[in-house]
Chain A
Amino acid sequence: MERTATEPLLSCQGVDKYFGALAAVRDMTFDVFQGEALGIGGPNGAGKTTLFDVISGLNPATAGTITFDGKTITRATPDRTCQLGMARTFQFNAGFDTLTARENTLIAAYFGRHNRMIPGMKFDRETQRLADEAMAFVGMDEVAHETVRTLPVYHRKLLMVAGALATQPKMLLMDEPVGGLNPQEIDEVMALVQRLKECGLTIMLIEHVMRFLVRLSDRVLIMHHGEKIFEGSASGLVHDKTVVDVYLGEGSSRRLQHILEDQPAP
């Protein structure tokens, strides 16, 4: 299953997703390469979350093909794509609310790595180690035994990342990881994603907060009405007329340019 360096880890070819007559995702074609961080932006309702649903198998594509790590996963169910090495987080605070944070992560580490034909009687040592490492990595070891329902939004966001990491993914799909967080918390999540990139993890991330998106992404893809309207470097973004017109607007475009100039392109 050796892939050459030029072969993408994830490849979407002509992917459509229709809800009745509504094209939530239309003719999406793009690649994500090993170790890369691809940022996805676009206005509300552009189809970003739907794109993640299609890739992860939660809501299969109407047309097109998706390959991941050399396998076709167009019709694969979410449990399979997870076990194949694709872990996602959700825009809204998803979690097993009545369980503790550590139990949430244990479940991900146990069932998310490979298919358990007949589950064992207890979580094995390897599972426990992976779960504890993931909790420590996101900085949640102190609240590991809290019930998820009682956790603040910040911890719930981090917990989704811990669960994703515990499945030992090849690729991480993050849907608005900083939505609803305050600036200080956003910086902490930004540092976390930076650390994940340094570990060599391939990342796809959806984000509305543009400073977050452009700083962390190696490449940016902008969606509008289900279609790709831009794909390229973050610095190209602010000069692209379509993107400025339909999404950024003149003001944010200028602000974004300042952010990009402060921060040398990665």
Chain B
Amino acid sequence: MFETGPNWRRDVAIGAILIAVMIAIPFLGPSRYFIGQLTLFFLWATVVSQWNLVFGVGGIFSLAQMAIFAFGGFATGMMGLYLGISLWIALPLAGIGSILFSLLIGLACLRLRGPYVALLTLAIAQVMYLLIITDTACFYMEGVTCRNFTGGTRGLAKFGDFGFREMLGRREYLKGDYYLSLFVLTLAVVFSFAIIRSPLGFAFRALRDNPEYGISRGLNRFKYQLLVFAMSAFFTGLAGGVFAGHFRVIGANVLHLPLLLFLISMMVVGGLGRAWGPILGAALVMLADEGMKDFVEIRNMGYGALIVAIVVLLPQGAAGGLEQIWDWGHRQLLRLRGGRDPAATGRAEVRQRK
């Protein structure tokens, strides 16, 4: 069926192969560093796959995604620390909390457009950052040291982890976090594909392309704007919680601007609004980052150059470029089989009419 995506079989096949490879990697004896970097990749790809729903598909320039991530991380950590509950229970609760948090942000942005949404959401993230690093009040005493509610500048810690250290031992525990992150990413990506290709995804894109025309064709702008904020929050919050459990600490540094730009560049490089864009973008940007690690002085310039190159040469992003190559190959194949090329006949018809 055309609406579920002309290439859904292809996408399922690619997805299955990628997941199989990722499941196999820990068995091939990789370094701890490699496993750690892949775990981070899964978490960042999760965040951008959901951010892409708001930013790319919905065309709403929200910069609040890392605030939602931080909310999920802090909520997980605080529930573990102050309520003493297992992070496995805290994690889904934090995900649900993130939905509510994101809905509030969406509500605040409801009447704003374009750059004003970016300004307001950035301000929300900055306020959150300031509230955390200026938190100096004693919430509880640990021996003679005073601990803040949010962890303050040192970050929130001592809330435990997902128990993989006890289960798998100190040498192997990273693999537990690795598979947990992979699992969250898989769910997040399946979710984002389902949304993008459903009528809901078309509603988001319609309102992005032309809100006035969209509401004149039966779309309630407020409803779908709130929905896209809600839907993009759950897995983002989960990623924040897994991040906290993986590092056994969560701090205000996840709200730093360079990290936000790092994630935006993933979306842009991959292709805004495209289903495969965020994953491809996260992979490319992390690879580029890895490659530039040894050249600290040109690292930021390297990012800049990468983004400029993509925006100029491939405005549809890497996923858009690959999609064009795929379509071209597909047409050649149809032609060889003597099949009709619907796109080409359509164009011929237009030319005739003119």
Contact = CB atoms under 8 A, between A and B. Distances in A.
Interface of A: 56, 58, 77-79, 82-83, 87-88, 90, 94-99, 102-104, 106-108, 110-113, 115-116, 119-123, 128, 142-146, 151-152, 154-155, 163, 167
A264 B160 CA distance: 87
B115 interface: no
Given A106-B202, A111-B199, A167-B218, 7 more contacts: A77-B220, A94-B210, A99-B205, A112-B217, A112-B218, A122-B4, A145-B343
A160 B217 CA distance: 10
A84 to B, nearest CB: 10
A152 B350 contact: yes
Contacts of A123: 3, 199
Contacts of B205: 96, 98-99
B210 A99 contact: no
Contact of B216 (A58, A104, A152, A154): A58
B83 interface: no
Given A97-B210, A103-B202, A56 B216 contact: yes
Given A79-B218, A122-B198, A99 B206 contact: yes
Q: Which 7 A-B pairs have the closest CB atoms?
A: A112-B218, A111-B218, A94-B213, A96-B209, A142-B349, A108-B217, A78-B215
11 contacts: A78-B216, A79-B221, A82-B217, A90-B216, A96-B209, A107-B202, A110-B202, A111-B217, A112-B217, A119-B198, A143-B346
A154 B219 CA distance: 25
Q: Which of B203, B209, B213, B342 has the most CB of A within 10 A?
A: B213
A229 to B, nearest CB: 28
Interface in B73-105: none
Contacts, number: 115
Interface of B: 1-4, 194, 197-200, 202-203, 205-206, 209-210, 212-221, 273, 342-343, 345-347, 349-350, 353-354
A58 B215 contact: yes
Nearest to B347: A146
B177 to A, nearest CB: 32
B3 A82 contact: no
A119 B210 contact: no
B215 A145 contact: no
A79 B215 contact: yes
A122 B199 contact: yes
Contacts of A154: 353
A96 B199 contact: no
A99 B209 CA distance: 9
Nearest to A143: B346
A142 B346 contact: yes
B218 A144 contact: no
Contact of A90 (B200, B209, B213): B213
A144 B346 contact: yes
A113 B202 contact: no
Contact of B199 (A78, A94, A120, A142): A120
Contact of A77 (B2, B4, B215, B345): B215
Contacts of A99: 202, 205-206, 209
Contacts of A107: 199, 202-203, 206, 214, 217, 219
Contact of A121 (B194, B209, B214): B194
Contacts of B212: 58, 90, 94
Nearest to B59: A98
A122 B210 contact: no
Q: Which of B194, B197, B216 has the most CB of A within 10 A?
A: B216
B343 A96 contact: no
B213 A96 contact: yes
Contact of A146 (B206, B350, B354): B350
A142 B345 contact: yes
A188 B218 CA distance: 28
Contacts of B4: 122
B257 to A, nearest CB: 30
A85 B345 CA distance: 35
Contacts of B3: 106, 122-123, 128
Nearest to B348: A142
Given A96-B209, A103-B202, A152-B350, A79 B194 contact: no
Contacts of A95: 209-210, 213
Contacts of B197: 122
Given A96-B213, A123-B3, A145-B342, A113 B218 contact: yes
Q: Which of B217, B273, B350, B353 has the most CB of A within 10 A?
A: B217
Contacts of B199: 106-107, 110-111, 116, 119-123
Contacts of A145: 342-343, 346
A38 B304 CA distance: 58
A266 B218 CA distance: 34
A79 B219 contact: yes
Nearest to B213: A94
B214 A96 contact: yes
Nearest to A77: B215
A59 B317 CA distance: 37
A83 B219 CA distance: 10
A96 B217 CA distance: 11
Nearest to A88: B216
B141 to A, nearest CB: 50
Contact of B354 (A88, A112, A120, A152): A152
Given A58-B216, A95-B213, A146-B350, A120 B345 contact: no
B211 to A, nearest CB: 10
